[in-house]
Chains A and B, each alone.
Chain A
Amino acid sequence: MSEILLEISDLRIEFRSLEQTVQAVRGCNLGVVKGEVMGLVGESGSGKSMTALACLGLVPPPGHVTGSVRLDGREVVGAPEADNRRLRGSTAAMIFQNPGKALNPFFTIGRQLTDAIATVRGLERGSAERTAVDALTEVRIGDPALAMQKYPHQLSGGQLQRAMIAMALSCQPKLVIADEPTTALDVTIQAQVIVLLRDLARVHGLTVLFITHDLGVVGSLCDRLAVMYAGRVVESGPVDALFANPAHPYTASLLRAVPMLGRGRMTLTQIPGTVPNMAAPPPGCAFHPRCPIAQPRCASDDPASRETAGGRTVACHFPLSGATAPAALRGVAS
């Protein structure tokens, strides 16, 4: 049995204010096995970024976190801040969507990398600096020695994201959490970064939790994926099987709602309605108001996540199977 590096069970994150309580995450369950690249997919407001932040104990106040996140055998939720700080960088590192905001504009790339490496790995400055140059070389930055001397505003978005990846990897974490790291990049640069991450994951045997709203990116990078909707994982499994035969109507609709290159001028399947307001999520299954196959039961009865064959899970009362799915919801791959 493969070892589970990250295990999230019944994670709940609430933001309370005077008027309302926003339930950002409502019972998220997810396991990431050592050495795999796991995609976490969802639309804005699905709770995917909050789930990622909770893995590092970084949910901002007044966020109220309950449930459990076990990272490399240690509980993160409710742990003292000092313990969680030790976890960050050494056990798990994070790559953010906007590297321009994640780096300090007043210090050179070299200084920021060296500081991080020296702090996390306890190296003295000289060897931390050499490690930093090596890391920049590994992420294929044109001239690593030159990049060390640059300030963030002097590098392009693609180069900055490479520097962020270098910083994350140089601390030799067991888990890398990447939150939409390619979303802000141009198409050709996004492809470069995906290929880089794919190669690095293979060479170093990295475990990656990759958060995105782009199913195509998941397809070209990940081994497994989990689909989040309204604060909860509605379906998970190996990428190939899940894309070929989605079991949850949300996943199935999403796969047919997004134009994919090579499919020509097909009419896209419309998902009616909008993503739910998380201050007042629908009762029962949160997707039922938009679901094409919803039954009365779905409006009252919240489906629990169940394991099915082939290492898959689905949280639906009426999961689709390839043969019985209505034509509009059948998998796109055949």
Chain B
Amino acid sequence: MTALLSVEHLTKYFPSRHGVVRAVEDVSFAVAPGETVALVGESGCGKTTVALSLLRLIRPDGGRVSFEGAELKGGGGDKAEKAWRQRLSIVFQNPYSSLDPRMRIRSIVGEPLITAYGLRGQPLTERVVKHLAEVGLGAEHLNRFPHEFSGGQRQRIAIARALALEPKLLILDEPTAALDVSVQAQVLNLLQQLQRTLGLSYLFISHNLATVENIADRVLVMYLGRVVEEGPVESVFAAPYHPYTRGLLDSVPSTDPGRRRHLKPVSGEIPSALNPPTGCAFAPRCTRASEDCRRAPPPLNAAAPGRSHACLHPLAAAEGSRRSDADRQTDRAGIER
């Protein structure tokens, strides 16, 4: 299967007064047609920088990005970037700040169509109405302003705007994180339905592992600018190789009995991207770290079909899987306590 989007060795450094921030370092992945790939990690891991680099909203310092085999060259000029942005689009986290409060919904969703195709009048309105309908909003909203809508409806409008140029790939940057708990499901279900009807691919950026499990096919776990593990969501979450992935999973609180008192947090905090550890960035927090880990960052290597990890001491399947006997014992002790 040929990849729709392919990213190779993407790198982005930000200069700052205190030194260079290595935001993204040597990140490679591909998104197949119709697939949802999730980028997960904590704040500062570089997931949003990857998204912005893909859209050329910031200029990466290195690496290749191609769409349907055609590479976007750094010096391609405005025209190439404009054409590029018609194929992929983004929905931002906060629909309260991503929609211009002074624009009517008609203009918000219509603006990309005017800029890209110069549409006007009746054809423009028809397209806008069509995209609003795709997200479940009626034509009666055309002349309203963003403040007249709830958070969930605003995010629908942001999705309609992203769909306006009929892109093949949508980048979703924490699209439900700013929404009320009771409306998150509406947006997640809408995204899944749109994917089925329009054949879209998603790059889903999130720190919420439960949401990722619900929506994504494959997952890339990032830590301090690098991908530390990659694979199908189901198998990575069931039996991760990388101790950081295990730690993330064990940090997610749950309502399910048996998992409720199961939190096993990773000790320590994320190191500064200004001054990252020389070797594996996770080594200072890792219980399995050895001297070798501190020498050089381990490369991302294939471990099993579709799976890869960047760890010198990966967890074996039995250790990685959540429900080992020892865990069940601690579970029970936890509940009794």
A239-274 residues at the B interface, CB under 8 angstroms: 239-240, 243-244, 253-255, 257-272, 274
Q: What residue of chain B has the Cβ atom nearest to residue A218's Cβ? A: B255
Q: Which of B150, B249, B255 contacts A332 (CB 8 A)?
A: B255
Task: Check B253–A266 contact: CB distance below 8 A.
Answer: no
Chain B proximity mask over A177-220: 1 for CB below 8 Å, otherwise 0: 00000000011111110110000001000000000011111111
Tell me if B298 is interfacial: C-beta within 8 Å of chain A. Answer: no
A-side contacts of B61, CB under 8 Å = none
Q: What residue of chain B has the Cβ atom nearest to residue A334's Cβ? A: B257
Tell me if B71 is interfacial: C-beta within 8 Å of chain A. Answer: no
Task: Check B251–A262 contact: CB distance below 8 A.
Answer: no
- The residue in B180, B211, B255 that gathers the most chain A C-beta atoms within 10 A of its C-beta is B255
B-side contacts of A269, CB under 8 Å = 185
Tell me if B143 is interfacial: C-beta within 8 Å of chain A. Answer: no
Task: Check B247–A261 contact: CB distance below 8 A.
Answer: no
Are A271 and B182 CB-contacts (below 8 A) given A332-B256, A333-B256?
yes
B-side contacts of A333, CB under 8 Å = 255-257
Are A261 and B184 CB-contacts (below 8 A) given A219-B255, A220-B254?
no
Task: Check A253–B182 contact: CB distance below 8 A.
Answer: yes
CA distance A253 to B213 in the complex (A): 20
CA distance A257 to B255 in the complex (A): 12
* Stretch touching chain A among B74-82, B84-92, B258-266: B258-266
Q: Which of A195, A202, A254, A272 contacts B265 (CB 8 A)?
A: A195
Tell me if B325 is interfacial: C-beta within 8 Å of chain A. Answer: no
Task: Check A188–B42 contact: CB distance below 8 A.
Answer: yes
Minimum C-beta distance from B223 to chain A (A): 10
A-side contacts of B150, CB under 8 Å = 274-275
B-side contacts of A260, CB under 8 Å = 210, 254-256
- The residue in A159, A188, A220 that gathers the most chain B C-beta atoms within 10 A of its C-beta is A188
Task: Check A259–B210 contact: CB distance below 8 A.
Answer: yes
CA distance A14 to B261 in the complex (A): 38
Tell me if A44 is interfacial: C-beta within 8 Å of chain B. Answer: yes
Tell me if A158 is interfacial: C-beta within 8 Å of chain B. Answer: yes
CA distance A300 to B148 in the complex (A): 27
CA distance A253 to B182 in the complex (A): 8
CA distance A186 to B47 in the complex (A): 14
B164-195 residues at the A interface, CB under 8 angstroms: 180-186, 188-189, 192
Are A263 and B42 CB-contacts (below 8 A) given A219-B254, A219-B255?
no
Task: Check B265–A215 contact: CB distance below 8 A.
Answer: no
Task: Check B213–A43 contact: CB distance below 8 A.
Answer: no
Are A216 and B252 CB-contacts (below 8 A) given A187-B209, A265-B214?
yes
Tell me if A119 is interfacial: C-beta within 8 Å of chain B. Answer: no
A-side contacts of B183, CB under 8 Å = 271, 274
Chain A proximity mask over B199-217: 1 for CB below 8 Å, otherwise 0: 0000000011111011100
Task: Check B237–A195 contact: CB distance below 8 A.
Answer: no
B99-155 residues at the A interface, CB under 8 angstroms: 150-153
Tell me if A127 is interfacial: C-beta within 8 Å of chain B. Answer: no
Minimum C-beta distance from B335 to chain A (A): 8
B-side contacts of A332, CB under 8 Å = 255-256
B236-277 residues at the A interface, CB under 8 angstroms: 237, 247-257, 259-267, 269-270
Task: Check A275–B251 contact: CB distance below 8 A.
Answer: no
B-side contacts of A274, CB under 8 Å = 150-153, 180, 182-183
Tell me if A156 is interfacial: C-beta within 8 Å of chain B. Answer: yes
Q: What residue of chain B has the Cβ atom nearest to residue A220's Cβ? A: B253
A-side contacts of B260, CB under 8 Å = 219-220, 239
CA distance A253 to B186 in the complex (A): 12
CA distance A244 to B247 in the complex (A): 27
Task: Check A270–B263 contact: CB distance below 8 A.
Answer: no
Tell me if B8 is interfacial: C-beta within 8 Å of chain A. Answer: no
A-side contacts of B337, CB under 8 Å = 202
CA distance A160 to B214 in the complex (A): 33
Minimum C-beta distance from A227 to chain B (A): 11
Tell me if B301 is interfacial: C-beta within 8 Å of chain A. Answer: no
Task: Check B189–A267 contact: CB distance below 8 A.
Answer: yes
CA distance A270 to B188 in the complex (A): 9
A-side contacts of B208, CB under 8 Å = 259
Q: Which of A194, A270, A290 contacts B253 (CB 8 A)?
A: A194
Minimum C-beta distance from B324 to chain A (A): 15
Tell me if B330 is interfacial: C-beta within 8 Å of chain A. Answer: no
A-side contacts of B255, CB under 8 Å = 215-216, 218-219, 243, 255, 260, 332-333
Tell me if B292 is interfacial: C-beta within 8 Å of chain A. Answer: no
Task: Check A158–B251 contact: CB distance below 8 A.
Answer: no
Are A257 and B251 CB-contacts (below 8 A) given A191-B265, A192-B267?
no
Task: Check B188–A268 contact: CB distance below 8 A.
Answer: yes
B-side contacts of A217, CB under 8 Å = 253
Task: Check A187–B182 contact: CB distance below 8 A.
Answer: no
Tell me if B68 is interfacial: C-beta within 8 Å of chain A. Answer: no
Task: Check B254–A189 contact: CB distance below 8 A.
Answer: no
CA distance A269 to B184 in the complex (A): 10
CA distance A262 to B254 in the complex (A): 9
B-side contacts of A262, CB under 8 Å = 213, 254, 256, 259, 322
Task: Check B182–A243 contact: CB distance below 8 A.
Answer: no
Q: Which of B182, B192, B257, B264 contacts A257 (CB 8 A)?
A: B182
Are A271 and B265 CB-contacts (below 8 A) given A186-B43, A259-B210, A259-B213?
no
Instruction: List chain B positions with a Cβ less than 8 A from chain A.
Output: 42-43, 150-153, 180-186, 188-189, 192, 207-211, 213-215, 234, 237, 247-257, 259-267, 269-270, 322, 337
Show 22 residue pairs from A and B whose CB-CB distance is below 8 angstroms, ordered by the A residue: A187-B42, A187-B207, A191-B265, A192-B266, A216-B210, A216-B253, A219-B253, A220-B261, A240-B257, A259-B208, A259-B211, A259-B213, A263-B210, A263-B256, A266-B214, A270-B186, A271-B182, A271-B183, A271-B186, A274-B182, A275-B150, A275-B182
The 4 closest A-B pairs by CB, nearest first: A191-B251, A191-B265, A216-B253, A268-B185
Beyond A156-B269, A218-B255, A264-B214, list 4 extra A-B contacts (CB 8 Å). Answer: A191-B266, A220-B254, A220-B262, A274-B182
